[in-house]
Amino acid sequence: MEATSLLLNLSIAILSAYMLYNVLENLRGFRRLPRPDETSRCSRRISVIIPARNEEGRIGKALTSILGKLGPNDEVLVVDDASSDNTFSEAMDHCDERCVLIKVLKRPDGWNGKSWACYQGYLHSHGDILLFMDADVIVKGGLGGVCGLLSKYDALSQVPRIKCGSLACGSIEIAFTSLLRLTYPYWNMSDGKAWLAGAFMWWKRSSYEIVGTHESVKDSPVEDAELGRRAAEKGLRMAFFTGEIAESSWISSWHEGLLTLTRILTARAPRPLPALLVASVLIYVALASYLVPITAILGYTNPIISIIYLASIFGYASISFKEVDTNPLSLALAPIGLILLSVAMVRASLGAEIEWKGRLLK
């Protein structure tokens, strides 16, 4: 019993120190990120490219929100990627003269659907600045400040701002963003760490062409992150910016979350054995978050160390409220989200089939 108690106390003490350190690192990191001036105006032409597949009920809201922020010379290109619902007609109902609607019926072999749709939008665009935007994004702030930042950077993404309508979404998103900031923090754009988020991704046209456009990542299930990696290899300047200019929705159920995480983790999943080891650590952290109060009562762990552990784990996870608009109860369920993420990591490492938007990607 003494050996078990010693190991438990030592493990949660080490984890507490690590998480407290990362609380400070995250707070410093967020302060280093650029923040656009939303009152600024953009003097360059913006081409907004929206790939859409089965986005009925969302594409109209997205179009209304973005068109209200654009100038008279800007353009929006909606690329309907063989939708089986009323995405195309809904887009038509919410467009004006600045819109171009493109309907893709087939894509060439070797391309995933989103990359092909983005590429088609690019081929039909005319702007100096390209904004790739998901069809579920609602634009709330002005765009001029981001345009201004592109005088310093080649590509930009907003730190994700996700609106969750369910506890499943909130808990999974808190777990995912917490792990994301540990492994690929927004403020580290060095080789091997650089990535971009495609929901609201800005490019100088010339820089986008330097990395090879979406054609260079045509078979990737996470084409946005891969574009960021390629940009870093080319020596281009990228950054995530803070603010709440754009807000997107995400998954709504635990099962959808598992499938989505499997797709996201496929590109950089470790091999099966390392994935199992990492998953074991994450599951230990998650279970300890619920069991430490019990072990403290039973005398297996020191009460003070146990309190510090809980404060460090949930304190670090609470930073995710910068990225997630969700019910605060989601924080209490975040350890379950972490377990689900661990399962998704193992599935990705074993080459699980990936279905996305009704298509088999792998």
How do residues 107-152 score in pLDDT, each as one tens digit?
898 898 799 999 999 999 999 999 999 999 999 999 999 999 999 9
| Residue showing tokens 């072990």 | 295
Q: What are the structural domain ranges in the chain? A: 2-28+254-360, 46-160+197-249
DSSP H or E run through 69 = none
**Spatial separation of the C-alpha atoms in residues 342 and 261, rounded to whole Å:** 9
> What does the pLDDT read at residue 210?
98
**Contact in structure between 77 and 96 (CB atoms under 8 Å):** no
- Say which amino acid occupies 359: R
Which pLDDT does position 359 carry in this prediction?
Answer: 63
Residue 352 has what pLDDT?
82
- CA 109 – CA 21 distance, rounded (Å): 47
> E strands along 18-98, which residues?
46-52, 75-81
If one counts every other C-beta atom within 10 angstroms of the C-beta of residue 45, the result is: 16
Which pLDDT score is estimated for 221? 85
- Residue 186: other Cβ atoms inside 10 A: 25
SS3 state of residue 234: coil
| DSSP-derived pairing of the beta strands 200-204 and 155-158 | antiparallel
- DSSP, collapsed to helix, strand or coil, labels residue 134 as coil
CA dist., res. 288 & res. 71, Å (int): 53
* Biggest CA pair distance of the chain: 75
In three-state secondary structure terms, 299 is coil
Q: Which stretches in the chain have pLDDT values below 50?
A: none
> Of 166, 161, 167, 162, nearest to 334 (Cα)?
167
- What's the pLDDT score for residue 351? 86
What's the pLDDT score for residue 1? 62
Tell me the CA distances in angstroms from 322 to 66, 83, 187, 243, one per residue in order.
Answer: 22, 33, 15, 9
CATH of domain 46-160+197-249: 3.90.550.10
Element (H, E) at 70: none
129-133/99-104 β-pairing: unpaired
**Burial category of 241 from C-beta neighbours within 10 Å (exposed 0-12, middle 13-18, buried 19 and up):** buried
Nearest to 192 by CA among 240, 230, 247, 146: 230
Using a 10 angstrom Cβ sphere, with 0-12 exposed, 13-18 middle and 19 or more buried, the burial of residue 183 is exposed
